[in-house]
């Protein structure tokens, strides 16, 4: 802990160490704990309660007990609580940002951006809570009146990822609360502190006991399985890898649970010959290196027209070589550590495989020795078909370039993946841009822009990238069930 500054110590000491069940901070069964580390230094920054399967069921008990009362809470009151939570997030934005940097590693400037983004889900769904509606009218035969109404799905279980610890919590919790659902959330073992701090703010905003419950654990599958198998649970939402998502969908099938799955991505970044390269290079830096490349929306395959590939590669390489690597709390740092040693090993293996197959290394390409888990921001070009880096999600600061000659080839290469979360297209031809909207098999697309996420927009993918949508008007419907009632005229 000697590498931690006094202000960091003070913040970390303010974080509760318990589980949050039924409105109380409690120890885990048997007093179990686990350590949270700073990936920039490998230092232990906090030891917290380590939930057992029994603790998970206790949390579900609390959510079930609170469900009826929360569902009957007026929409305006639910809205006001979410709005108060939004205001508290703004008041504590520096604490939240610093906490994310300490436990996840992202530069402080990016962490502040995540606080803004994640907070918007609280504001957006505070507004959507009072807009839940149905419809009323005569049936076509004229024999009765039809009422279509919306009801909360019920107790929901959330499994969130480590890479956006604040935004992933708010993106799931906010629509659930707006709809009238209670929650058990299992934050990631690598970055649980942000969710715990946010839960304190929800408590301060006046959230009733049992409506949100937090069970962090080092044994995720053991705690999750009995919750998912419990017949009282009605909804499962997960953000993470496709491999884990498939297993969770199979588990959820036993109880015919409503599921939302935001899974892996292998995003294409297509640069046509008529692209504005200033826009394309700016977009590439945002789409690839935001969050140190550790994002499901990160551009994974840069598919660049052969006529502009050399200039594009040179320009992004120049920008990448100028990036500053270090602990995210340091001034001017643009690239922090990867989350752990496994992430570094994966990035190294993907780069090595591509180079062995004939790709050229233009910048970076190596792990950095010393404390922390750092990998140099990297650019490789002339990546050939069959390279692992074109098939696997990199989840690191590696920009890999392949080339194409025709629009048809570019589309084929972009769609040549089992994933379909997001795509990025750079072209000054408006008609071509519209063609790409229809041609690319993804749930989202950025046209001449490298970041697409917005609380007011539906976030989600197709194919192996998931089921359902988060955010936008569509997001709240993931937590509502539709009921039809017929009232006969006589």
CB atoms within 10 A of CB 225: 15
pLDDT tens, N- to C-terminus, the chain (490 residues): 346 889 999 999 999 999 999 999 999 999 999 999 999 999 999 999 999 999 999 999 999 999 999 999 999 999 999 999 999 999 999 999 999 999 999 999 999 999 999 999 999 999 999 999 999 999 999 999 999 999 999 999 999 999 999 999 999 999 999 999 999 999 999 999 999 999 999 999 999 999 999 999 999 999 999 999 999 999 999 999 999 999 999 999 999 999 999 999 999 999 999 999 999 999 999 999 999 999 999 999 999 999 999 999 999 999 999 999 999 999 999 999 999 999 999 999 999 999 999 999 999 999 999 999 999 999 999 999 999 999 999 999 999 999 999 999 999 999 999 999 999 999 999 999 999 999 999 999 999 999 999 999 999 999 999 999 999 999 999 999 999 999 999 8
Residues acting as catalytic residues: 262, 296
Reduced to 3 states (helix: H, G, I; strand: E, B; else coil), residue 263 is: coil
What is residue 1's predicted lDDT score, i.e. its pLDDT? 37
How far apart CA 300 and CA 309 sit, in angstroms, is: 16
Q: For strand 444-447 and strand 299-305, is the pairing parallel, antiparallel, or unpaired? A: unpaired
Residues 6+ apart with CB under 8 A from 463: 417, 418, 419, 420, 441
What is residue 490's predicted lDDT score, i.e. its pLDDT? 86
The answer to whether 402 and 301 are in contact (CB under 8 A) is: yes
């Amino acid at each position: 802990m000697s590498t931690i500054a006094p202000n960091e110590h003070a913040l970390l000491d303010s974080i509760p160490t318990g589980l949050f069940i039924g409105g109380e901070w409690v120890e885990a069964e048997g007093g179990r704990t686990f350590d949270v580390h700073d990936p920039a230094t490998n230092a232990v920054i906090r030891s917290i309660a380590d939930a057992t399967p029994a603790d998970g069921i206790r949390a579900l008990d609390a959510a079930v007990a609170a469900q009826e009362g929360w569902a009957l809470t007026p929409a305006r009151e639910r809205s006001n609580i979410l709005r108060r939570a939004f205001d508290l997030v703004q008041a504590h934005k520096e604490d939240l940002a610093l906490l994310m940097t300490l436990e996840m590693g992202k530069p402080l400037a990016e962490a502040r951006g995540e606080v803004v983004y994640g907070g918007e889900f609280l504001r957006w769904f505070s507004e959507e809570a009072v807009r839940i509606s149905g419809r009323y009218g005569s049936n076509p035969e004229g024999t009765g009146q039809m009422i279509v109404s919306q009801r909360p799905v019920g107790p929901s279980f959330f499994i969130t990822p480590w890479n956006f610890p604040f935004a992933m919590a708010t993106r799931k919790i906010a629509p659930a609360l707006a709809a009238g659902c209670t929650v058990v959330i299992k934050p990631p073992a690598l970055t649980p502190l942000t969710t715990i701090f946010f839960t304190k703010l929800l408590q301060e905003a006046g959230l009733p006991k049992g409506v949100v419950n937090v069970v962090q654990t080092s044994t995720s599958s053991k705690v999750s399985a009995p919750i998912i198998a419990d017949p009282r649970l009605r909804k499962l939402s997960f953000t993470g890898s496709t491999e884990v998502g498939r297993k969770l969908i199979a588990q959820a099938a036993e109880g015919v649970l409503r599921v939302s799955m935001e899974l892996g991505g292998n995003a294409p970044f297509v640069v046509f010959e008529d692209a504005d390269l200033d826009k394309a290079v700016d977009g590439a830096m945002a789409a690839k290196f935001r969050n140190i490349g550790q994002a499901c929306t990160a551009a994974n395959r840069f598919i660049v027209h052969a006529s502009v590939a050399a200039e594009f590669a040179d320009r992004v390489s120049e920008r990448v070589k100028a990036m500053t690597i270090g602990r995210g709390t340091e001034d001017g740092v643009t690239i922090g550590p990867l989350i752990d040693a496994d992430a570094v090993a994966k990035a190294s293996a993907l780069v090595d495989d591509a180079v062995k197959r004939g790709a050229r290394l233009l910048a970076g390409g190596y792990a950095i020795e010393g404390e922390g888990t750092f990998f140099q921001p990297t650019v490789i070009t002339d990546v050939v078909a069959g390279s692992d880096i074109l098939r696997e999600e990199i989840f690191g600061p590696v920009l890999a370039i392949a080339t194409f000659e025709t629009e048809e080839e570019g589309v084929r290469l972009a769609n040549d993946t089992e994933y379909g979360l997001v795509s990025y297209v750079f072209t000054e031809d408006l008609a071509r841009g519209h063609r790409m909207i229809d041609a690319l098999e993804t749930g989202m697309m950025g046209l001449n822009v490298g970041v697409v996420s917005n609380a007011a927009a539906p976030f989600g993918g197709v194919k192996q990238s998931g089921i359902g949508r988060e955010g936008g008007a569509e997001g709240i419907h993931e937590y509502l069930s539709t009921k039809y009632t017929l009232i006969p005229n006589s």
